[in-house]
Amino acid sequence: MSNIYDYTLSFRLVRNYVVFTFKRYYSKYIVVGKENIQEDCPLIFAPNHINALMDAIAVHSIAPPETSLIFLARADIFKNKTAAKVLKFTKILPAFRMRDGMENLGKNNEVFEQCVEILHQNKALGIMPEGNQGEQQKLRPLVKGIFRIAFAAQQKYAENPKVKIIPVGIDYGDLEKFGKHIIINIGKPIEMSEYMKNFNENPVTTTNDIRDRLNNDLNALSLNLATEKHYDCFKAITEIANIAYVEKLCLSDTTFNRFKARQEIAKELVLIERNEAGKIEKLEILCNEYVRLLNKLNLRNRIFDQKQKKTPTIFMEGIILLATSLFFVYGLLFNWLPFLLPVYIRKSILKTEYEGFFSSLQFGLGILTFPLFYLLQTILICSLTVIPWWLILLFFFSQYLSGKLAIKWNGKAKKFLAKLRFKRLTKKKSSDLLQAQNVREQILRMIQ
């Protein structure tokens, strides 16, 4: 009988395909700290959890090659027999919670024993230490299951270095949209052997100590908008002040440095909320007004961070867009259906309302629909025309490439139209635009 940690050929092929497509789902796939992952030793990956299946695939994408990675997931998704078989194939074990019934909590002992065996086989586990998912970009309290498993596995090796917890911070440019960035920020490993002596003497205190350490590590690796009352305000200000803080920190303007700047803004906002209640309330009012004005103007915050170009330059951008519009039409023609079908299934058939599942469902459906449609469209072209085999092959691969180009063209076209709109509003001296700029400046002055 095969073990869940066996690295089978079928699993290897599926994993490689999913990871390959996952990296191309995002416009920028950024990994920092890959050197912190050691091979040939038992590892427990501990990522923050805001984006369902995508978080697990992100960890798979950085795991050592040819190493089985087994995840724990909430037990209720195993109720359907077909789903349970798929989950087992993808190397996912159930974790039972209070809501699954007191009578089922005992089953966790068997699952935890499996996890310890997996680690003793020098394989890897993926455990979401927050215990649940939340779409807000902030850490939730860590549960103790991950530490129970780690200490149980380390007992075999006593104080000799072996089992390691790898903290992983994941940041998404957008929880739903395709073609944004993903940052996978890998922290230094937590060596369980360093805690074994204290654990044997006082397990409760030591568990709390290592939980605090992992919490601090994840806080340093992810964007933690640590507020209960002012979350929308925190989120808005991290975008409003993003470029200003990049400059304040004397960083070059890169995607990762923008992420670091947002982290610093979040820390500053936490201090303001803690120490200056009146100030944070005023910031809340200003943010609400700023967002209202942007919506009314049909503009986005980033337009204020861009250096305003002269009319001839904007005119040339329009000419280039017009000249390359045929590439957009080609890409749209052969990609609109596979792009829209997963969204339609999510909205109209599955009727998923939780934003944290959007990209997982769309990605999961997309890795099936895109190759299927590309194949069917290629067969259709072959049946309608007589062309050489190399042109057929070229057409097959051009569908994907043209789709990527169409998305980029569409993004540039939206930015171009926003520049025109901003130019027109500036020329008219729009009172709403002037008010938005004034409110924005007030916000920046209050947090810098």
Per-residue model confidence as pLDDT tens digits over 125-134: 999 999 888 8
- In the three-class reduction of DSSP (H, G, I as helix; E, B as strand; rest coil), residue 190 is classed as strand
Euclidean distance between CA atoms 86 and 274, whole angstroms: 46
pLDDT score recorded for residue 293: 97
Q: Is the pTM of this model over 0.85?
A: yes
Q: Give me the phi and psi of 30, to 5 degrees please.
A: -115, 125
Give the position of tokens 């901003």: 422
Q: What is the pLDDT of residues 97-120, one digit of tens each?
A: 666 555 666 677 888 999 999 999
Q: What is the pLDDT of residues 367-376, one digit of tens each?
A: 999 999 999 9
Average pLDDT, the chain: 92
pLDDT score recorded for residue 103: 60
pLDDT score recorded for residue 350: 85
Dihedral (C-alpha) 270, 276, 277, 278: value to the nearest 10 degrees?
Answer: -130
pLDDT score recorded for residue 99: 63
Joined tokens for residue 143? 């549960």
- Say which residues have a Cβ less than 8 Å from residue 218's Cβ, sequence separation at least 6: 46, 48, 129, 139, 167, 169, 187, 224
DSSP conformation class of 396? H
If 0-12 CB within 10 Å is exposed, 13-18 middle and 19+ buried, where does residue 95 land? buried
| pLDDT at 1 exceeding the cut of 80 | no
Q: Are 402 and 394 in contact (CB under 8 A)?
A: no
User: Mean pLDDT, to the nearest integer, of 19-38?
Assistant: 95
| pLDDT at 270 exceeding the cut of 90 | yes
Q: Give the type of residue at 167.
A: P
Q: Give the type of residue at 28.
A: K
- Say which residues have a Cβ less than 8 Å from residue 282's Cβ, sequence separation at least 6: 446
Transcribe 76-91 into DSSP letters: GGG-SHHHHHHHHHTT
Euclidean distance between CA atoms 80 and 358, whole angstroms: 21
Q: How many CA atoms lie within 13 A of 409 on its CB side?
A: 21
| pLDDT at 349 exceeding the cut of 70 | yes
- In the three-class reduction of DSSP (H, G, I as helix; E, B as strand; rest coil), residue 380 is classed as helix
- Say which residues have a Cβ less than 8 Å from residue 327's Cβ, sequence separation at least 6: 402, 405, 406, 409
